[in-house]
Structure 1
Amino acid sequence: MKPITSTLLCVTLSLALGMPAQGADQAVPGKQQKATKQDKASKRTPKSALPQSLAPHPDATDSKELTGQIVYQVLLAEVALQRGRNEFASQAYADLAVRTRDPAVLERAIEVAGYARRFDRVLALARLWVQVEPDSKRAQQVLVGVRVLTNQLDGLAPQLITMLAADQPALPGNLLALNRMFARSPNRKAVLQLISTVGERFPDLPEAHYAIAVAASSAGEHERALAEARQALALRPDWQIGALLEAQLLTQKSPADGIASLQRFVDKNPQARDAQLHLARALVSEKRYAEAKRLFEQLLQAYPDNPDVVFPVAILALQENDTALAEAQLKHLITLDFPDKSAAYYYLGQVAEESQRADDALVYYQQVSPGDHYLPALIRGAAILAKQGKLDDARSQLNAAAARDPQLRVQLLIAEATLLREANQAATALALLEHELSEQADQPELLYESALLAERLGRLEVMEKRLRKLIALQPQSAQGYNALGYSYADRNMRLAEARELIETALKLAPNDPFILDSMGWVLFRQGELEGALTHLQRAYAQRPDAEIAAHMGEVLWMLGRTEEAQRTWREALERHPESVEIKETLKRFSP
């Protein structure tokens, strides 16, 4: 018996996808195969070319006539497959399999029924195959596979146990694969019951307890999952997979408990690299950067050329503003052998840009391939060109990228409009977006960005109309409510309505720093200074943005806390030396 991971699981997936489970020379539906001389000769299909076990049914009166019919039906079904007539081919093979009861024909009929997505037929044929060949391991595997695929789990445990026990060397791996077999099943409780029944037959194997733990977690039985994971670790105390599962389960309720669990395991097993990596990442997630940094430094000494170590070290260095270490590790990373280096090039571009090395940044951004970092790399590269006075080149690059990938067209148009706005060409930017809106009148991002540009140009009626349309299109999105409410508050008009709009936005996104800023500003306009300060401080703690700092300083000033206000503005100006908001605010409140 082959391991479940390589046979039974493949059978299940092949039936689901309509692909052959074995036999590369079998016909593929919908493809015209290249004919060789041997293929052409096979069109005559002598009896010897059929499965060796193929024979007329004992009741047949004319075996020659029946064999001829079989040959004809096989050819008819295969031609139908090549022409994409999967249902016709499946029915023809099913009829032939039932008449001949031949194992080879049954197996082929099952595959063709899979192509046709006729899993009811697959199940019936698999059951027939087991009747015809009760000792066939392949037939048993197919029957189990199709029962898994069709979620017929009742009574399946004995067959699974027998198949698992028949291949002792592969038993641990097959137990670990059990949950993958049932990944599509919607009834997680039934899966847990089945895997529990199977796993309980192998109580001395940690993999059995692991399988039950995973199934219990999927079924929402957290305490049982944790108990089974701990039993697996009791059987094999140095098992990293078990330790990671225990930590994952603990983290669901308490990240600190998950970290403590991994720390205990790593202390006892200092060579457990995967557990150390997960521990370091967990520490980063909990913003325990100093502890994470120490652990990553240890890992870096032990595994200096491992991308799984080098990349997190670089990212952590970026988070701590250690650009020298970050750049060194990122440069080392791109010399290592791993598939996608785009993230490394992107972050190298950021480091170079922040270090005022614009040309280096452009080179790095240009090496970012399509993926998660592709769009931001394009936009940042274009922004660098614009700052260098090469606005036309920047726009050309964005337009060329949009032509290559139309799915990015809207985001790239908005980026182009942003460059135009920053170059004091807001009217041109608005015209660009309005031209696209004439083609996509309900595109939310275009409505939002064009509304902000219209406001900048004093076209308040256009701004209000588009934001209200955005709210109607996306009533569960906070963006439109916040933009409209803030616009009213900033102009000190319709404050009751502004507050209502911002309160709605805050309910939809209670921790958004910009919405908190809007709430603080409308409260300030209404004279509720203490409430305004509370919201602005929360906003600034999450995002030390220049505009938020300007608002917070103004509220502090009005509360008589002038020194704090001045300090807030000075710190913000150091952080954002080009901020127009901070400079104008300082000018207004200068003695």
Structure 2
Amino acid sequence: MNKWIGIAMALCASGCAMAPETTPETATTISSQEALAARPNQNTVIDEEVLYLLMAAELAGQRDQYDLALDAYLQAAKRVEDARIAERAVRIGMFLKDGKRTREALDIWLSKDEKNLPARKFAVLLAVKSGDRESAVENLDAILLEDPAGFETGMLEMVKGLEKEGRLPFMDDVLNDLALAHPDDTGVLFLQAVVASLQKNNEVAQQKIGRVLELQPDWNKAIIFQAQLAGRSGDMDKAREYLQKAYKQAPDDKQLRKMLLEVLMNTGAFDDAIRLCQASLDENPEDGEMLFMLAMISLQQAQVDKAESHLEKLLGNKEWEAQASFYLGKIELDKQHADKALQWFDRAGAKGFGFDADLAAISLLLSQKDMDEVETRMGRLNSKYPDKHLRILLMKAELYNQTGRYQEAYDMLTEALKEAPESRDVLYARALVAERLGRLDVLEADLGKILQSNPDDVGALNAMGYTLTDKTERYDEAERHLQKALHLKPDEAVIIDSYGWLQFKRGKYELALEYLRKAYEKQPENEIAAHIAEVLWVMGKTQEAKDFFIGVFKRFPDDEYLLNFKNRFLPE
């Protein structure tokens, strides 16, 4: 459970928004309305020529003739003392991405108001965009000297904007230059840590944030960021230690409490997590978030009755009812109470949980083979969730797959790949359908593309290994894929099953049976059961194979894997 890491970064940025005129968006992709927002001081005394320039600029702006407006404001800015006219020219220049005239307007603005922080921030952005390292350092230094307390918070949003533009390496160099003049400034060090972290340089980030906390040990934002870095490196115990320290200093911080709760759950410290939730509920018994977290903790501990009790208390809470209904549905699904689960999923959807609830309901109906209801519900999805087009398409492909319409599924997924050629989910789905159609060339190509992007994709490794085992005699290749998958996820039942099937194909029946039974203990799926029955049969243990098979077949008489075994080995 690593969601808290993202929350930590958000918390680091909270309270850090710059004035509207200095956000990265307005500075790099400023809108036309924003470009014309900074109006001159109405009390400024201006002559007729300047008045004409301002009127011309205003009229040009209203007509979307921003190039003309910029020229007019720039000329006016040279003639009056009001720095706001130069500011307006800068904003329009940034909107037009006209570096030369923006630089000219900035020089005028700073000559009239050299301590103006928004002007300095615009100057930093312009310097970074043009690769002018010296100017960037000079203007950052001016901002730091003018506003040392607000330096770090004022710069964080700028850093986030520069990340989107791929300019962090340059900003890293600029901050390193600035740090030479201010080696013990915690704001500069913190920014260096953030920039290093965003570039995945965890070691440097930890070093910088460590120095920050040597200089300012009780700075909560830095402690939280240190916890984030520890979590990213996999040291959840350290992350927990840091967050507990931060929480002691700010026990009313709800976002921090949520982060600590998630880390406690992640590290298995359920008793501490429960105490933290309960302490909050003692203060506020109606705290829906804490009730929900208690439910999640109970589910983690397999205390389903307790989880249900907590979730049921949320059913009258407008903010949490939808989520509570969804998880109550998942609980009923685990109990194999399909009708009750469907009712909860529908309630969750009606209360605002939306797409996930609708998808869960459709998946449930698919498993029940209620294809008419599935098609009805699927037909409503595109209009309800136009932004979820790809996931809906994958669900439709699965519907076709379930109903044996493999060519339709294949064609749909092939079209989807034209829209999203790098989509792992679409490639994987088409590979599985291609196997049904006997298109092993497509299967290998699609899974190969996934593995080229991510050699540790366990699903693709297992699918490739199993298919090579089952459909070819390329057992050495299959073994390489499956051994790697097992190394990455040694307790995954489907991989253990695949590896057992490989041993069977190689004639190592005892070893195969050992792996297959281990897989079935972990996850009693019908395909694994069919594999066990076949291995027993081939080993000459026909009665044991029959007894085992019949026990499973009585419960799942329509399963395709079991039917396949029955037709091959137990024909009537």
Question: What is the TM-score of this pair, normalised by structure 2?
Answer: 0.70
Counterparts in 2 of 1:581 and 1:318: CA distance versus 1, 3 Å:
farther
Query: Deviation of residue 346 (structure 1)?
Result: 2.4
Residue of 441, 456, 467 corresponding to 1:468: 441
**Equivalents in 2 of 1:167, 1:448: separation in Å?**
53
Greater C-alpha radius of gyration: 1
Residue identity in the other structure for 1:126: L
Q: Where does structure 2 lack aligned partners over 5 or more consecutive residues?
A: 1-14, 452-458
Distance 1:374 1:357, change over 3 A: same
Candidates 145, 162, 168, aligned match of 1:186: 168
Give the counterpart letter for 2:111 in structure 1.
Q
Paired positions, count: 530
Q: CA offset at residue 297 of structure 1?
A: 0.8
Q: Which residue of 2 aligns with 1:316?
A: 297
Q: What is residue 325 of structure 1 aligned with on the other side?
A: 306
Contact 2:298 2:306 in 1 (8 A): yes
CA contact (8 A) 2:277 2:293 kept: no
Given the superposition, is the C-alpha separation of residues 8 and 110 from structure 1 closer, same or farther in structure 2, using an over 3 Å criterion? same
Are 2:106 and 2:123, in contact at CA under 8 Å, matched by a contact in 1?
yes
Q: Report if aligned partners of 1:471, 1:480 keep a CA contact under 8 Å in 2.
A: no
Contact 2:382 2:392 in 1 (8 A): yes
Q: Could you list the per-position Cα deviations for residues 170-216 of structure 1 after superposition, in whole angstroms to 9, with x for gaps in the alignment?
A: x1x542443433331322531441563575464xxx65654444345
Cα deviation for residue 499 of structure 1 reads 5.3
- Structure-2 change in CA distance of 1:545 and 1:487 (3 Å): same
What residue number does 1:347 align with? 327
Distance of 1:434 and 1:325 partners within structure 2: 44
| Counterpart for residue 396 of structure 1 | 376
- Which residue does the alignment assign to 2:8? none
Distance 1:397 1:365 in 2: 13
Does 2:495 align with 1:518? no
The structural deviation recorded for 1:530 is: 7.2
Query: Where does 1:106-121 land on structure 2 (aligned, <5 Å)?
Result: 106-121=86-101
Q: Letter of the 1:182 partner, please give it.
A: V
Matched, 1:494 2:475: no
Say whether the 8 Å CA contact 1:348–1:364 is kept in structure 2.
Answer: yes
CA distance in 2, matches of 1:488, 1:106: 69
- Please give the alpha-carbon distance, in whole angstroms, between the structure 2 residues aligned to 1:294 and 1:570: 44
Cα distance in 2, alignment partners of residues 446 and 240 from structure 1? 43
> Deviation of residue 525 (structure 1)?
0.5
In 1: Cα distance, 2:100 partner to 2:548 partner: 71
User: In the alignment, does 2:33 pair up with 1:14?
Assistant: no
Label 1:335 to 1:212 Cα distance change in 2 as closer, same or farther (>3 A).
Answer: farther
Q: Alpha carbons of 1:551 and 1:389: their partners in 2 closer, same or farther (altered >3 Å)?
A: closer
1:214 match: secondary structure = helix
Counterpart in the other structure of 1:123: 103
Deviation at 1:323, TM superposition (A): 2.1
Are residues 1:175 and 2:157 paired? no
Shift of 1:395: 1.6
**RMSD across aligned C-alpha pairs, in angstroms?**
5.3
Secondary structure of 2:449's aligned partner? coil
2:11 matched residue in structure 1: none
Query: 94-103 or 397-406: which moved more?
Result: 94-103
**Which stretch of the first structure deviates more once superposed, 14-23 or 318-327?**
14-23
Within the candidate set 439, 450, 474, 1:477 is matched to: 450
Deviation at residue 110 of structure 1 after TM alignment: 1.1
State the alpha-carbon separation in 2 of the partners of residues 473 and 408 from structure 1: 23
Could you tell me whether the CA contact under 8 Å between 2:401 and 2:409 is conserved in 1? no
Shift of 1:113: 1.1
**Structure 1 stretches lacking a partner, 5+ long:** 28-48, 57-63, 457-462
C-alpha deviation, 1:538, in angstroms = 8.6
Tell me the CA shift for residue 294 of structure 1: 0.6
Residue of 409, 417, 428 corresponding to 1:433: 409
The 10-residue stretch of structure 1 (109-118 or 341-350) with the greater mean CA deviation from structure 2: 341-350
Once residues 573 and 104 of structure 1 are traced to their aligned partners in structure 2, the CA distance between those partners, rounded to angstroms, is: 81
Contact 1:97/1:105 (8 A) holds in 2: yes
Map 1:549-564; keep pairs closer than 5 Å: 551=531
CA distance in 1, matches of 2:430, 2:147: 66
**2:277 maps to amino acid:** L
CA distance, structure 2, for counterparts of residue 138 and residue 412 of structure 1: 46
For residue 298 of structure 2, what is the amino acid of its counterpart? A
Q: Distance in 2 between matches of 1:437 and 1:511?
A: 28
Q: Which amino acid aligns with 1:186?
A: L
**Residue 373 (structure 1) shift:** 7.1
- Counterpart for residue 228 of structure 2: 248
**1:508-536 deviation per Cα after TM superposition (whole angstroms, max 9, x unaligned):** 99747545643442332122457757876
User: Which has the larger displacement, 178-187 or 236-245?
Assistant: 236-245
1:18 Cα deviation from its structure 2 partner: 0.7
Structure 1 distance, partners of 2:551, 2:21, is 60
Q: 1:565 to 1:148 in 2, by over 3 A?
A: farther
Q: By how many angstroms is 1:301 displaced?
A: 0.9
Asked if the contact 2:86–2:109 (Cα under 8 Å) also holds between the matched residues in 1, the reply is yes
**How big is each residue's C-alpha offset from its partner over 1:367-399, in whole Å with a ceiling of 9 and x where there is no partner?**
556999754532332355567785423321111
* Comparing 144-153 and 563-572, the one that deviates more: 563-572
Q: Which moved more, 1:228-237 or 1:443-452?
A: 443-452
Task: Describe the shift of the 1:538–1:190 C-alpha distance in structure 2 as closer, same or farther (beyond 3 A).
Answer: farther
- Distance (Å, rounded) in 2 between the aligned partners of 1:251 and 1:554: 46
User: Measured at CA, do residues 309 and 537 of structure 1 come closer, stay the same or move farther in structure 2, by a change above 3 Å?
Assistant: farther
Q: Identify, as 1 or 2, the structure richer in helix.
A: 2
Match of 1:300 in 2: 277
Q: What letter corresponds to residue 433 of structure 1 in structure 2?
A: A
Mapped to 2, the partners of 1:50 and 1:213 lie a distance apart of 40
SS in 1 for 2:438: helix
SS in 1 for 2:507: coil
Hey, what's the Cα distance between the residues in 1 that align with 2:213 and 2:447?
49
**Per-residue displacement from partner, 1:475-504 (whole Å, max 9, x unpaired)?**
3226788657645644xx6312x6536746
Q: Do the aligned partners of 2:224 and 2:246 also contact (CA within 8 Å) in 1?
A: no
In structure 2, distance between residues paired with 1:254 and 1:194? 31
Closer/same/farther in 2, CA of residues 87 and 360 from structure 1, 3 Å limit: farther
Shift of 1:227: 4.6
> TM-score, normalised on structure 1?
0.69
In percent, how many aligned pairs have the same letter? 23
Cα contact 2:239–2:263 (8 A) shared by 1: yes
